[in-house]
Amino acid sequence: MGEAGVGPLAGMHVVVTRPAAQAGPFCTMLEAQGAQVTRFPVIEIRGPADPAQLNTVLAGLDGFDIAVFVSANAVQRVLALLRERGAWPQGVAAAAIGARTASELREHGVAPTIVPAARFDSEALLEEPAMQQVRGRRVVIFRGDGGRPHLREILTERGAEVVYAEAYRRALPDIDATPLRQALANRRVDAITVTSGESLQNLCRMIGRAGQVALLRTALVAGATRVAAMARDEGFAGRIETADDPTDTAMLAAVLRLHASGRGGEREPSEPSEPSEPSEPSAG
């Protein structure tokens, strides 16, 4: 468990569920505001199941018109491999599902030309003008295993030739949830941050049935309206604060709002239910 500090979040204990390699900046932001932070990654990022397929796509990347990156993980995995092959091919537009993914592209020397202004999801990306007129164009979607098929389906309907390239896999981390389970039972956690439906479902699975009553009464900060709705369906009965988007800045703002509200609204769930199996993870 992290140590509490001084600031507007002093006295607040926040659990961060981002993957281990991505949690650092957000945890630092929370700690700078005085929060006590516990890192509890609920997704582990691994290499793709079929590296050969990804390498084949990268070898022919200059034959695509648009390359869509659905997450910062996809950027990191793809551009690490692409550096071994040379520069980003001219004539291939880089599309990012959101601001964080776009920022990761820039850090790797690629200027994204298609980025939603708000609502960082597949639907928002599809509203971009460059994604409207795609008939006859070749599009590659760099993503993790699984994911929503919505982006590919709509682009195909619009006449594009769409190829998936699995850049990484998501897995359930093998970590001991006992300390967090005990902290939840003792009401020593003020909020848990979750940025995706898959994160929420993995959290429920990792805490398990034994700790579910305590989990479901704990306040959440959700990275999207859809995630907040899933939490209610899952049985979360405490306060749920929804961030404007799943970026670190927006999530911090939501934590600050939750803290300012007094972290109220908790009520005991009537009867625990078995955590549901993970549904198809989102594209973002």
25 vs 282: CA distance, rounded Å: 23
For residues 113 and 190, membership in a common domain is answered with no
On whether residue 200 sits in a domain, the answer given is no
pLDDT tens-digit readout, 216-244: 999 999 999 999 999 999 999 999 999 99
- Both 14 and 77 in one domain: the answer is no
Residues 262 and 190 both lie in one domain: yes
> Which of 21-35, 142-156, 162-176 has the weakest average pLDDT?
142-156
52 domain residue, yes or no: yes
Share of the chain above pLDDT 90, in %: 79
Q: Looking at the structure, do residues 128 and 162 belong to the same domain, yes or no?
A: yes
For the chain, give the DSSP string: -PPP-SSTTTT-EEEE-S-TTTSHHHHHHHHHTT-EEEE----EEE--S-HHHHHHHHHTGGG-SEEEE-SHHHHHHHHHHHTTT-SPPTT-EEEESSHHHHHHHHHTT---SB--SSS-SHHHHHTSGGGT--TT-EEEEEEESS--SHHHHHHHHTT-EEEEEEEEEEE------HHHHHHHHTT---EEEE-SHHHHHHHHHHHTGGGHHHHHTS-EEESSHHHHHHHHHHT--S-EEEPSSSSHHHHHHHHHHHHHTTS------SS--PPPPP-PPP--
Residue 140, domain member (yes or no): yes
Q: Are residues 14 and 71 in the same domain?
A: no
Tell me: do 156 and 91 sit in the same domain: yes
Number of domains forming the structure of the chain: 2
Q: Is residue 33 part of a domain?
A: yes
In this structure, the number of other CB atoms found within 10 A of the CB of residue 216 comes to 24
pTM of the model: 0.80
pLDDT tens digits, 258-271: 999 985 434 333 33
pLDDT over 70 at 2, yes or no: no
Residues 61 and 154 in one domain: yes
Tell me, yes or no, whether 279 lies in a domain.
yes
Give the Cα separation of 110 and 198 in Å (integer). 28
Q: Are residues 14 and 72 in the same domain?
A: no
Asked whether residue 30 is assigned to any structural domain, the reply reads yes
User: Domain limits at 38?
Assistant: 8-45+185-195+229-246+253-284
Query: At residue 281, does pLDDT exceed 80?
Result: no
- pLDDT grade for 4, boundaries at 50, 70 and 90: low
pLDDT for res 278: 32
Cα→Cα distances 16→146, 224, 249, Å? 23, 16, 14
> Do 30 and 111 lie in a common domain?
no
Residue 204 included in any domain: no
Which amino acid, residue 149?
A: P
Could you give the CA distance from residue 190 to residue 283 in angstroms, rounded to a whole number? 29
Residues 68 and 152 occupy one common structural domain: yes
Kindly state the average pLDDT of the residues 244-253: 93
Instruction: Indicate if the pLDDT at residue 279 is higher than 50.
Output: no
Report yes or no on 202 lying in a domain.
no
176 CB burial (10 A radius; 0-12, 13-18, 19+)? exposed
Same domain, 20 and 91: no
Report residue 46's pLDDT band, with 50, 70 and 90 as the boundaries: very high
Q: Please indicate, yes or no, whether residues 93 and 18 belong to a single structural domain of this protein.
A: no
- Domain with 127 in it: what CATH number? 3.40.50.10090
